[in-house]
Chains A and B, each alone.
Chain A
Amino acid sequence: MLIPTDGLLTFLEGCRKKDFGPYKNVFSPVWPADKDSPSAILALLQGEDRLALDGHRATDPAKLLLYGARERVAPFVADPAPSLLAGIKACDIKALDLLDRALLNQEFVDPAYQAWRERTTVLSFDCTDAAPTCHCTLAGGRPYAETGFDVNAARDGDHYYLSAGTAKGRLLLDLIREHVRIDDPSGRVPEAVKARRLEMTARVEAQSAAFARSGDYDRLRASPAEAWAEESRACVGCGACTHICPTCYCLILNDESQAAEFVKVRSYDSCQWHGYARVASGASPRPRMDERFRHRYLCKLVTMKKEFGSLGCTGCGRCTEACPGGIDFRSAVRRLMERSPSGRPAAEAG
């Protein structure tokens, strides 16, 4: 259905004030109020916020909310109050899909993530802009989501075209209908939306063209040790890339028990840190920085693909944005692929 853009903003403000809907909390990317920042951050709406619903992905991944940097996981009592997460983009939707497979499966359910997922309705938005490091198309993605959301909003001039992907999403659409004027109730995707999607895809493809690579990431395994050492030279091992990555979920389980109660708190760990895989005796499978650097690249592009069926990289480019050493993930992958013994593209090799 098609609704006016200001109608959706009014609706979200109504949800925030709890005038509409069951939502206890509404989260969205916002422009920081206190400083002139080019990047939106994910925040709990509190009024007076400038929402960043369109544009490109926020600095923060959705993981920061749904799989918090520090959460008590035992004893765990779920907060059932529904919340609404609006404004995340296709790269984060893809990342949530991977996290669902990692954290909510037959063998294992993370209780805190499960509670967040169940109580949160996700309203994603098509990208209308690309950050300089965005490269979702290189990771097999598109700057708009086709599945994985509860409701998706695609900008069409002064309207949003809304579509529901789940039962939870249909409830949200019902709620929107109650409070907002609908200009076209049909499920027809406007031509302008289709055109914008093509245009945005072409734009991301164009800015990624210089980093184009084949999808045969297995051959990264064969890239020589010197190549890894060179690519990781500027890496200081801070772990910013893994903390900001929308699919990294490595955890530490801290024991914060007091008196008779056992309390477990999970927090982020980083495979880029020296102590990550080191055992008490001091032995470590990856004592050197270049080994840990390689481990991350292989995890994102090979291991996770094998394990979850999709790359651990959604092409959001946050790791490149966050790196204090200025390491560009796109360039590093391209060069590493080229330096693999089987690294030449098939056409050239022929």
Chain B
Amino acid sequence: MKPNPYEAVPAVLLETIDETPLIRTLRMRLDRPMPFRTGQFVELSLPGVGEGPFTPSSSHFVTETMDVTVMEAGFLTEHIHRAKPGDRVGLRGPFGSSYPLTEFEGQDLLILGGGCGLAPLRSLFLTLLDEAEKYKSITFFAGAKTPQDCPYKDAFLVWQKHPKVKLVRAVDAVPPGEAWDEEVGVVTVLLGKLDIDPKNSPAVVCGPPVMMKFGTRDLLKLGFREDRIYLSMEKKMYCGIGQCRHCVMGGYYVCKDGPVFTYAQIKNEEGIWD
């Protein structure tokens, strides 16, 4: 008998961390371990409310607990934000493709992300730092709407000091009264600060569709290779197992064939940026 693909592994919510007014990280301990590879996603269910796809935001080397970072955007995420430590949740997964870490070994890696796309990138980044000796350098360009919309505020300050890391942040705008001494502008303006060789370097992009679209366009202009631009295509992965068909994108199921695709794989599919 195959395991029932619809069955969730129970977990307990250990703590919640407010990242921004709309973004919150949940740390969970699962009743049974769910080893994943960074970039893969899970289906998180809130009993009696619903279920949705989220990418863990913790390192895949951390096995006792799992973090997910959730932006309040709709019915389910509103309820997830109301959850309290001690509450029971359910997890199915992990599902889909992961970031190809072996391809990144010995390379100068660029990570480009914005908004809630920083959640999967935090997982990638922490996983890379756990084996930092394997990578030549990590350039991390992160964007957010305003200073208060930047998640992982304290962590960023620590990461910026890492010898192998060049981490620069940009915000679209600084409202009056908010302090900010880093860059201002959409995250792609940071590409002007790039000091690695685009021809041989892998780049990972994750963020809102419009950022993915223009980020990819700019990377191609800079000379990054189509098959070395890794995109996290987050569509509506409702079931996670290629059955519900909601995330179908041309000939691909984002949940099974993705969510991590190279640009070369999907460039001819319809509606990838919608």
Of B46-54, B58-66, B121-129, the one contacting chain A is B46-54
Given contacts A262-B45, A269-B244, A285-B271, contact A251 B7 (CB under 8 A): no
Residue of chain B at shortest CB distance from A304: B245
A76–B7 alpha-carbon span in the complex (Å): 9
A200 at the interface (CB under 8 A from B): no
Are the C-beta atoms of B47 and A262 separated by less than 8 Å? yes
If over half of B's interface residues share one DSSP class (helix, strand or loop), that class is named, otherwise mixed; here it is loop
Residues of B within 8 A of A256 (CB): 48
* A259 (CB) vs chain B CBs: closest residue: B47
How many whole Å from A270's CB to the nearest CB in chain B? 11
Q: Which residues of A contact B270 (CB under 8 A)?
A: 285
- Bound-state CA distance A262–B49 (Å) is 11
CA distance A221 to B6 in the complex (A): 34
**Interchain CA distance A152-B247 in the complex, whole Å:** 38
Measured CB to CB, the closest approach of chain B to A139, in angstroms, equals: 20
Smallest Cβ-Cβ distance to B51: which chain A residue: A255
Q: Which residues of A contact B256 (CB under 8 A)?
A: 107
**When each residue 1-41 of chain B gets 1 if its CB lies under 8 Å from chain A and 0 otherwise, what string results?**
01011111010000000000000000000000000000000
Q: Interface 1/0s, chain B 218-245, versus A by CB < 8 A?
A: 0000000000000000111011011111
Q: Is the CB of B10 within 8 A of A262?
A: yes
Q: Is B145 an interface residue (CB 8 A)?
A: no
Is A346 part of the binding interface, using a Cβ–Cβ cutoff of 8 Å?
Answer: no
Interface range on chain A (Cβ under 8 Å from partner): 35 or more
Say whether A107 contacts B235, CB under 8 Å. no
B61-96 contact mask (Cβ, 8 Å, vs A): 1 or 0: 000000000010110110000000000101000000
Contact A76–B244 (Cβ < 8 Å): no
The stretch that binds B, out of A29-37, A55-63, A226-234, A275-283, is A275-283
Say if the beta carbon of A213 comes within 8 Å of chain B: no
Residues of chain B within 8 A of A103, CB atoms compared: 243
> Which residue, of A108, A269, A299, has the highest number of chain B Cβ atoms within 10 A?
A108
- Find B7's partner among A75, A107, A254, A306 (CB 8 Å cutoff): A75
Flag whether A257 is at the interface (Cβ < 8 A). yes
* A260-287 contacts to B (CB < 8 Å): 260, 262, 264, 266, 269, 271, 276-281, 283-287
Q: What CA separation (Å) do A11 and B51 show in the bound complex?
A: 47
Q: Mark B232-274, 1 if CB is under 8 A from A, else 0.
A: 0011101101111111110100001000000000000011001
User: Cβ of B208 < 8 Å from any Cβ of A?
Assistant: yes
**How many residues does chain B have at the interface if contact means C-beta atoms less than 8 Å apart?**
43
**A254→B50 CA distance, assembly (Å):** 6
Per the 8 Å Cβ criterion, residues 220-263 of A in contact with B are: 249-258, 260, 262
Bound CA span A283–B208, Å: 9
Name the CB-closest residue of A to B72. A280
Q: Decide: A279 and B49 in contact? CB cutoff 8 A.
A: no
B185 at the interface (CB under 8 A from A): no
Across the interface, B5 reaches (CB within 8 A) one of A109, A249, A280, namely A109
29 CB contacts below 8 A, A to B, read A75-B4, A76-B6, A102-B243, A110-B5, A110-B243, A111-B5, A249-B245, A251-B243, A254-B50, A256-B48, A257-B45, A262-B8, A262-B10, A264-B6, A264-B8, A264-B45, A269-B244, A269-B246, A276-B236, A276-B246, A279-B234, A280-B52, A280-B73, A280-B77, A281-B73, A283-B209, A285-B235, A285-B271, A285-B274
Q: Which 10 A-B pairs have the closest CB atoms?
A: A257-B47, A280-B73, A74-B6, A285-B271, A280-B74, A285-B274, A74-B7, A73-B6, A264-B6, A250-B245
Please list the residues of chain B having a beta carbon within 8 angstroms of any beta carbon in chain A.
2, 4-8, 10, 45-52, 71, 73-74, 76-77, 88, 90, 208-209, 234-236, 238-239, 241-249, 251, 256, 270-271, 274
Q: List the interface of chain A (C-beta within 8 A of B).
A: 73-76, 102-103, 107-111, 249-258, 260, 262, 264, 266, 269, 271, 276-281, 283-287, 299, 303, 306
Excluding A108-B241, A255-B48, A299-B245, 11 further A-B contacts by CB distance (< 8 Å) are A251-B238, A255-B49, A264-B8, A269-B244, A271-B245, A279-B235, A280-B77, A281-B73, A281-B208, A303-B248, A303-B251
